[in-house]
Structure 1
Amino acid sequence: MPLPRLLFGAALALAAFLPLPSHAADTITVTDIAGRKVEVKAPVEKVILGEGRQMYFVAALDTDQPFKRVVGWRDDLQKADLDGYRDYLAKYPQIDKIPTFGGFKEGTFDVEQAVSLRPDAIILNIEAKTATDDAKLIEKLARIGIPVVFVDFREKPFENTDASMRLIGKLFGKETRAEEFIAFRKEQIERVTQTLAKANPAQPLVMMERAGGYSDDCCMSFGNENFGKFVEVAGGRNLAAKIIPGTFGVVNPEQIIAANPDHVIVTGSNWELYVPGGAWVGVGSGADKAKARAKLAGLMKRAAYTGVKAVKDNKVHAIWHQFYNSPYQFVAIQAMAKWLHPELFKDLDPEATMKTLYERFLPVPYKTGYWVSLTDKE
């Protein structure tokens, strides 16, 4: 929804009295994921994150001081990934004092607050673009000297993850670090794709349920992108690929039963602040795997999975939902490949890959718990 003219008038007036950033910086032109040419003073020293979960890529680049540039962020990290938020809070207690914002997409972003923080840039996810275009927010922010750049790890992650990391690398002056991450990601994906290309195994049918148990509805899923694409890269067939035309959508229980998938994979996270005591599967950093398995088993008692082969064969798994919106997707692909083709990938250790990701690129200690299967012993 468009913000009132008076609000922008106040913001413009406020901007006129605020000092310009004092640091020496060059003006560079970058091309963001929306294809826009944007002029930014770089390296940026003050940034507003349009989504708190953008810390997943910020931390991989600014590993030594991940919050040094962040002067404001959306209030979703704590709600969407409570365990991950607590990991960062334990090491960086100052983060609970970072100003928080509502979302551009929801029309609750506070422009006056943003102006008062004098950011060098605002980073938004591509899914916010329609709302910002409708409200002409980008043009209005440009009038007060605040550039907006779009990134994407969610809508088309295989197309846009590397480009997004390179873009942020340029903004932060961390191009070399970004390339190191991109090379690591490529190497880890190829450990799956090259093995599959040589073996050319049969592709099991996979029902990918998005955020199972988050609500009473059943069943949200993924089309040809995001986790739907992860399934294909991991050597499976995505049940919803021909049902859902875009990235996200719904599969009816009758369609699941008729398709009779070989595997069911449910995404989950600690959503206690969103849905207290919900049926969601709380996988993530340091998760209680026994509790997660019990909740996963409970979800399989819903009508959508009645008599389904995957449930009969106990080929049911849960995986951290936030892989869908971060540059860490390669770990999910490895975990899924091992589930779908256990003999082919018996020497692949996604747990070790995740640990290496933390040790090389992230500032907080690694804790197991990002996925679980009903057949797990621990």
Structure 2
Amino acid sequence: MRMLKDVVLAVVAAVIAAAPAVASEITDVTGRKVEIELPAKRILLGEARQIHVAAALKGEHVFDTIVGWRDDLIMKDPDSYDGYRERFPAIEKLPRFGYIPSGDFSLEAAIALKPDVLTLNLEARDAVEESGFIEKAAAAGIAVVYLDFRVDPAKNSERSVEILGQIFGADARAKEFIAWRRDQIAVVTDRLAKAGAIARPKVFIERSPGITGETACCRTFGPANFGEMVEKAGGHNIGADVITATFGDLNPEQLVVANPDHVIVTGSNWSAESDVNQFVAVGRGADPAAARERLKGLMQRPAFAMLDAVKAGRVHAVWHQFYGAPYEFVPIQQFAKWFHPELFADIDPDRTFREFHEKFLPIAYRPGYFVSLSDGGE
């Protein structure tokens, strides 16, 4: 009887395994309906920095189904890349691809990897559609799914996490991630709401100064992305007074007239692509003394020395890559401490990010994501 039961179970298992998979449907952030077998067995990340979410969903098994990725992590965030390479040495051999809008993505090489799905960032959409890329990929059996953590994160970040949860077969983990993220943001927003009509300092947040000599000053953010983080943290983003898009430029005269109470610059380790190497290299394991010296140097540019924020030392740097991952709970907490130190004296963004790593990520935490010119501002 036991042998017969085993045979029956084996037959049933074989039938289930042989049954054709039924395609599921994903609605991406553009509203497109995409048919795909879930969870996907072979995934191509159209932006490698999506690993910051994928790793939170899959932990130790994050690279089990990733067959290739864009080269942006190693180019734009090598410190994070090193963290993942230390834990997963085999990723050095993981095929890398260029960026579709730049024309250096090889569809033929991607097809050779036989991926089920290619995840793309929303800002690539125009170039992708103009080139007919989606139709070409579909002809090769590759589904294209758009995500967005950058253009309109308030609208699309949580949906993008849910989509990656579907693709990686980690729906429950995605819900846990979203809930934890909401709770950490609420630590700030709920307290600000209870505080009532609190004075909001004027904040200028500069996008990636010192990475290229082409833009001396003053690329900034409109109402979305880092601009929204400033507002949620109890500040007033002066960029949103002029700019309605995600990014835009102020001229130095506008900056001087606005005379912000705080200046924040975004920085990262851009040594692989910078032509001037004056950026503030904050990020995983960054040297705070070296970052502070770079930050001092940037404040010597015309217009900045005239600002009250610079005279008072209320000048800070934040890891640029927070702008493309749903980790914004960390800068929101740090900004709140900078803007309202007494109200948020008890919160510790460094501890928050460490706890996030311990709870969700397969790599160890190393500090270095913020620096300030004022004493005790890190």
User: Which of the five TM-score ranges fits, normalised by the shorter chain?
Assistant: over 0.9
Q: Does 1:202 align with 2:202?
A: no
The DSSP-based 3-state class of the residue aligned with 2:367 is coil
CA contact (8 A) 2:315 2:373 kept: yes
Give the CA deviation at 1:76: 0.8
* Corresponding residue of 1:365: 364
Q: Equivalences for 1:293-372 in 2 at 5 Å?
A: 293-372=292-371
Distance in 1 between residues matched to 2:111 and 2:133, nearest whole Å: 13
Distance in 1 between residues matched to 2:65 and 2:20, nearest whole Å: 15
Q: Equivalences for 1:101-250 in 2 at 5 Å?
A: 101-200=97-196, 201-216=198-213, 217=215, 218-250=217-249
CA contact (8 A) 1:205 1:239 kept: yes
CA contact (8 A) 1:337 1:345 kept: yes
The DSSP-based 3-state class of the residue aligned with 1:303 is coil
* 1:170-219 deviation digits (Å, cap 9, x = unpaired): 11110000000000000000001000001131110000000011123211
CA contact (8 A) 1:289 1:369 kept: yes
CA contact (8 A) 1:44 1:121 kept: yes
- Give the AA of the match of 2:356: L
CA contact (8 A) 2:46 2:69 kept: yes
The DSSP-based 3-state class of the residue aligned with 2:53 is helix
Q: Which moved more, 1:53-62 or 1:260-269?
A: 53-62
Give the CA deviation at 1:234: 0.6
* 1:266-323 deviation digits (Å, cap 9, x = unpaired): 0000111111661100000010001101110111111131310100111000000000
Residues paired across the two proteins, number:
357
Distance in 1 between residues matched to 2:362 and 2:288, nearest whole Å: 24
Distance in 1 between residues matched to 2:323 and 2:87, nearest whole Å: 25
Distance in 2 between residues matched to 1:55 and 1:320, nearest whole Å: 16
- Give the AA of the match of 1:70: I
CA contact (8 A) 2:205 2:220 kept: yes
Give the CA deviation at 1:136: 1.2
State which of 60, 63, 81 in structure 1 corresponds to 2:59. Answer: 63
Give the CA deviation at 1:26: 3.6
Greater than 2 Å deviation, 4+ residue runs: 22-26
Give the CA deviation at 1:93: 1.2
CA contact (8 A) 1:26 1:43 kept: no
- Give the AA of the match of 2:206: E
The DSSP-based 3-state class of the residue aligned with 2:181 is helix
* Corresponding residue of 2:14: none
CA contact (8 A) 2:305 2:311 kept: no
Distance in 1 between residues matched to 2:125 and 2:203, nearest whole Å: 31
Q: Which moved more, 1:246-255 or 1:271-280?
A: 271-280
Distance in 2 between residues matched to 1:338 and 1:174, nearest whole Å: 34
* 1:11-64 deviation digits (Å, cap 9, x = unpaired): xxxxxxxxxxx9974410010001100001111111111111111111111111
Q: Does 1:284 align with 2:304?
A: no
- Give the AA of the match of 1:156: D
Q: Equivalences for 1:27-42 in 2 at 5 Å?
A: 27-42=23-38
- Give the AA of the match of 1:241: A
- Give the AA of the match of 1:76: D
- Give the AA of the match of 2:233: A
- Give the AA of the match of 2:179: A
* Corresponding residue of 2:15: none
Task: Give the CA RMSD over aligned residues.
Answer: 1.4
Distance in 2 between residues matched to 1:229 and 1:337, nearest whole Å: 13
Q: Does 1:54 align with 2:60?
A: no
Distance in 1 between residues matched to 2:68 and 2:29, nearest whole Å: 22
Distance in 1 between residues matched to 2:117 and 2:303, nearest whole Å: 45
Distance in 2 between residues matched to 1:350 and 1:48, nearest whole Å: 32
Distance in 2 between residues matched to 1:166 and 1:265, nearest whole Å: 31
* Corresponding residue of 1:7: none
The DSSP-based 3-state class of the residue aligned with 2:341 is coil
- Give the AA of the match of 1:231: V
Gaps of 5+ in 1: 1-21
* Corresponding residue of 2:3: none
The DSSP-based 3-state class of the residue aligned with 1:96 is helix
Residues 147/339 of structure 1: CA separation in 2 closer, same or farther (3 Å cut): same
Q: Does 1:96 align with 2:92?
A: yes
- Give the AA of the match of 2:48: G
* 1:69-88 deviation digits (Å, cap 9, x = unpaired): 11111101011111111111
Distance in 2 between residues matched to 1:176 and 1:161, nearest whole Å: 16
The DSSP-based 3-state class of the residue aligned with 2:60 is coil
Distance in 2 between residues matched to 1:307 and 1:162, nearest whole Å: 40
Paired-residue identity, %: 49
Distance in 2 between residues matched to 1:23 and 1:315, nearest whole Å: 63
CA contact (8 A) 1:107 1:131 kept: no
- Give the AA of the match of 2:195: A
Distance in 2 between residues matched to 1:177 and 1:153, nearest whole Å: 18
CA contact (8 A) 1:316 1:374 kept: yes
